[in-house]
Structure 1
């Protein structure tokens, strides 16, 4: 069983969020990708969907999760289950950072801004 050290995990910055790749095929995982998402205070993520279920577990802060346009308040300890095909986005209207651990099957196809791609949280 590979051990993936958070201290060596790749990190990617976007305007409203930071992503830390944890488990992926390039890091030894064959079936499940896992990464940590940090949405900066005042930040909002782009609406997207996947062709497989996405699961997020809130580990820090609070945010507003939008699933097919319906907003839900989420906080530490909550899990967000995003069914395949459902448009999803996350916004952090608070002054503290929001963090979640995200899980998705390897090879899941993402759809965002009219484009499709397979995300690799370790690249």
Structure 2
């Protein structure tokens, strides 16, 4: 299935953020899972790690992201590259929603706190 239209894009929520699944194995992708992430204004960060490198490309709004001990301002047109197995968090301190496209290789998982690794449902 080379084209995924808006009727095939499920929306999930986790910790107040919204994730719209665009491409994943269940929607025909074999190499990368791709989704739109939306962080509403004032949403606090959730520290987590990923088992594979993730890339976020900002579309709208502004967010602050911490990778390890460094903090970055993420603005439209910028790309944030999150290394695997590194503490990561992102939050939206601004007055408007932050939206980005996220890309994670198929099979990548998230780990929140001391929890077990899990595949985000939007990446299945």
Are the counterparts in 2 of residues 10 and 122 from structure 1 also a CA contact under 8 Å?
A: no
Are the counterparts in 2 of residues 17 and 45 from structure 1 also a CA contact under 8 Å?
A: no
Deviates more, 1:56-65 or 1:6-15: 6-15
| TM-score (norm. length: structure 1) | 0.92
- Which whole-Å CA distance do the structure 2 matches of 1:120 and 1:12 have between them? 8
- Which whole-Å CA distance do the structure 2 matches of 1:122 and 1:66 have between them? 22
| TM-score (norm. length: structure 2) | 0.91
Name stretches of at least 5 consecutive residues in structure 1 with no aligned partner. none
Count of residues in correspondence between the two structures: 123
Are the counterparts in 2 of residues 4 and 22 from structure 1 also a CA contact under 8 Å?
A: yes
Q: Secondary structure at the match of 1:94?
A: coil
Q: Give the C-alpha shift of residue 11 in structure 1.
A: 0.4
CA RMSD of aligned residues (A): 1.5
Q: Which residue pairs with 2:49 in the alignment?
A: 49
Q: Give the C-alpha shift of residue 70 in structure 1.
A: 2.0
Q: Which residue pairs with 1:36 in the alignment?
A: 36
Q: Which residue pairs with 1:114 in the alignment?
A: 114
* Structure 1 segment 1-123 matched on structure 2, within 5 A: 2-115=2-115, 116-121=117-122
Name stretches of at least 5 consecutive residues in structure 2 with no aligned partner. none
Moved segments of 4+, more than 3 Å: none
- Which whole-Å CA distance do the structure 2 matches of 1:14 and 1:107 have between them? 19
Q: Give the C-alpha shift of residue 15 in structure 1.
A: 4.2
